[in-house]
Structure 1
Amino acid sequence: MERADFAIEEQEGGGAALALTGPWLIATISDVEPRLASVEQAIARFDLTDVAEIDTVGAWIVARAARRLDAEITGCNDRAERLISEMGEFTTDEAIRPERASVFVRVTEKMGDIVYSGRSGAYGILGFFGALIMSSFSVIRHPHRFAYKALVRQLELVGVSALPIIGLMSFLIGIVIAQQGAVQLSQFGAETLTVNLVGRITLRELGVLMTAIMVAGRSGSAFAAQIGTMKLTEEIDAMRTIGISPMEALVIPRIMAAVFMMPLLGFYASVVAIIGGATISNFAIGIPFLNFLQRIQEVVPITDVWVGLIKAPVFGLIVALAGCYNGMQVAGNSEEVGMRTTMSVVSAIFAVIVIDAFFAVFFTNIGWN
């Protein structure tokens, strides 16, 4: 293929002209463009008389070089003249930046997007919850369609498999609460109230709350990733094609497992946290282990136990709903799976903490404090 080229010709009366030859196309100018950019000699005009063909890229290079050397362009055919005139405004060496709105406009727009997406998310989760209720009634009417084996499997994954990590976390939290509480209470000579602190805060609040956060990070994210991957690989579409409801086969067993196991895990976490507090109290403040446990029965009202047990299934429902809903929203590509998994954990933890605040106010107002 003929290549683009140029030559510098001296003109009568002084000055020089740059005579361009050959086709100035994107496929032919790779060699000539660096040479043209290195020309520093004073050039009066660019002569395009012998240019066989020219395209947009060639016109842009010629126009840019002519602008840099302050030279006139002559000998253009109709096509070359039209392209070079169009390229003239794009030949500046200055960085081209898009116009940027003011900070007030950008912040307001971002807040509006967040509010709008939050409203859309609220509508979506409400519709998903409605579909869940309809599927639940359908399963009640046709019990043979319920995935019992899937429920047992999810009970194992959500509950039994989580016992070691939740137990370790709760034990350490109990140690921290007892040790820090004893340090602060010792300033008033009330180290014995450490028993009250550990017992009430773990049974009423931290036991079930920390368990919900752990389940959100462990099982809620797994729900979103598993269902999202199935959605991405069109397994859910295949289930619908053969007459299996994804809500009945995938969502209901996971939500039931989380709702059933959360009270057990929350109570288990509270007990282990109390054991952790009793262990450190035996060494740090001289309260014997068994005396600590006996004192727990005296100072912790039974209402604290009921508060934790009432909140636990609600937290389990929130965590499972967030995971399953975000998993069902996956579409497009694998990046969406990671994004929705993250969203499920963040939204579940946020919702659990907000609901826990409402529970705290509610139980205080009814006298369970």
Structure 2
Amino acid sequence: MAAAAETSLSITEAGGELRVGITGPLTVDAVGRLDREFRQAVKASPRQVVIDAADVTALDSAGAWVLRRTSEAFSGRGIEVRLDGLRAEYAALLEKAFIPDPDVPTDANRPNPLIVIAARAGKAMFDMAHVGRDLFGFFGLTIVSLLALLTGRARLRFVALVSQLEYVGLNAVGIVALLCFLVGVVLAYMGSLQLERFGAAILTVNLVGVSVLREIGVLLTAIIVAGRSGSAFTAQIGTMKVNQEVDALETLGLSPVDVLVIPRLIALFIALPILVFIGDIAGLAGGAMIAVLTLDLSIQQFLTQLKGAVDFWDFGTGILKAPVFAYVIAVVGCHQGLKVSGSAESVGFRTTKAVVESIFIVIVLDALFAVFFAEVGI
């Protein structure tokens, strides 16, 4: 406190030159007492400013910050500033201790917004390319592991397979059936409202049958499974990664792909076509209920009209897409799980990313399948 009392600040102006003289130690105690005088000096508008620091006997980061702030306040307004007499040992502290003052106007060089947008778009494209490269590599790794399993060079863990079948298949029947039933109800109801205007309400059965069997059933089921099972794969494997259980498997000479990925992949490969079949039946049941309640059709009439509206390939195209979607969902979920780093935040980030990526790829593949089937006449 005694050192702070000895510090003094003198401000004189003559001939367009403002001289700020500092005597004594410029430390945190002195800065607290003299800060108002420094700020008052900054309000002046001379042609030149000289800060005389020859008599500064001590300087800490607070004092260096005040010196630099005062200098920048003048130079930011186009006033020439000269710092005289500061000891050489204080120069480095003056450079490193500077923290910009938000109250001091500065001419920040802000980048052009269009350049920023273009840079972000370019970075996003490179990130997508890297994600695609890593994902294709993991696809190849799972194919190699499946071939090793088929040729007897790897062992299928039957207990893990049955456990995953129960989780991704049996436990998902309720939610898949319910949502597909409700979508069938909505599709039939909205379709009947529009078709009644043209006196073709009976074609609601055709609308429900074709849309549910070819697209809605398999797509909705795949999205449900991606959100339910794909995210679970990422969270389960990611938590094992955080707890170093994956490292323990590798230490034991076991492949994480063989132990963790393959049982989940095969389980979803088996379960998803069955879930799609259940979803198709539920969607048609929802459409049948609306047809009976609003169109005065009997169940027999509904089934007769449905038989004439759809054929085997309307059902077969949906079932054929199911294993492909299952493979994508399982691989994306497990891949993101294995990329989790050592934090709980990473688990959440990778889980969200797995759901987004798998749903995106499923929808893109569904569009490609639709174009392909239309080209081949199926």
For the aligned pair, the TM-score class normalised by the smaller chain equals 0.7 to 0.9
State the superposition RMSD in angstroms: 3.4
Is residue 271 of structure 2 the alignment partner of residue 261 of structure 1?
yes
Q: 1:311 aligned to 2:314?
A: no
| Deviation of 1:289 (Å) | 3.3
Letter paired with 1:111: A
Determine which of 235, 238, 242 is the counterpart of 1:232.
242
Q: What secondary structure, in the 3-state scheme, does the structure 2 residue paired with 1:330 have?
A: coil
1:140 to 150, 167, 170: 150
Give 2:219's match in structure 1, choosing from 204, 209, 212. Answer: 209
Question: What stretches of structure 2 of length at least 5 have no aligned partner?
Answer: none
Q: What amino acid is aligned across from residue 131 of structure 1 in structure 2?
A: L
Deviation at 1:75, TM superposition (A): 5.5
- Check if 1:97 corresponds to 2:101: no
Matched, 1:129 2:139: yes
State the 1:64 CA deviation.
Answer: 3.3
The aligned runs of 1:276-291 (5 Å cut-off) are 276-291=286-301
Q: For residues 221 and 115 of structure 1, what CA distance do their matches in structure 2 show?
A: 24
Following TM superposition, by how much is the alpha carbon of 1:18 offset from its aligned partner in structure 2, in angstroms? 5.2
Structure 2 residue identity aligned to 1:79: E
Q: For residues 124 and 66 of structure 1, what CA distance do their matches in structure 2 show?
A: 52
| Alignment check: 8 A CA contact 2:64 2:93 kept | yes
SS of corresponding position for 1:331:
coil
Q: Match of 2:262?
A: 252
User: Which residues of 2 match residues 1-369 of structure 1 at below 5 A?
Assistant: 3-5=3-5, 6-7=7-8, 19-22=22-25, 24-25=26-27, 28=29, 31-32=32-33, 34-37=35-38, 39=40, 48=53, 50-65=55-70, 76-80=86-90, 93-95=104-106, 97-103=108-114, 105-142=115-152, 145-331=155-341, 333-368=343-378
Superposition deviation, residue 366 in structure 1: 2.5
Note if contact 2:24-2:58 (Cα within 8 Å) is conserved in structure 1: no
SS in 2 for 1:297: helix
Residues 97 and 342 from structure 1, CA distance in 2 versus in 1: closer, same or farther, beyond 3 angstroms? Answer: farther
Instruction: Look up the equivalent residue of 2:8 and give its one-letter code.
Output: A
Residues 354-363 or 260-269, more deviating: 354-363
For residue 300 of structure 1, report the CA deviation from its aligned partner. 1.8
For structure 1, the residue ranges without an aligned partner over 5 or more in a row are none
- Return the letter of the residue paired with 2:67: V
The residue type equivalent to 1:275 in the other structure is A
Cα offset, 1:284, TM superposition: 1.3
Q: With structure 2 as the length reference, what TM-score do the two structures score? A: 0.83
- C-alpha contact 1:227 1:324 (8 A) present in aligned 2: yes
Q: Which stretch shifts more, 296-305 or 171-180? A: 296-305
Q: Check conservation: 2:217, 2:283, Cα contact below 8 A.
A: yes
CA contact (8 A) 2:9 2:34 kept: no
User: What amino acid is aligned across from residue 120 of structure 2 in structure 1?
Assistant: K
- Report the alpha carbon displacement of residue 213 of structure 1 after superposing the two structures with TM: 0.7
Count of residue correspondences: 363
CA distance in 1, matches of 2:230, 2:11: 78
* Same amino acid, percent of matched pairs: 37
Post-superposition Cα deviations, 1:178-237, rounded to whole Å, max 9, x if no partner, equal 111111111111111111111111111110110001111111111112212222332211
3-state secondary structure, aligned to 1:31? helix
* TM-score using structure 1 length: 0.85
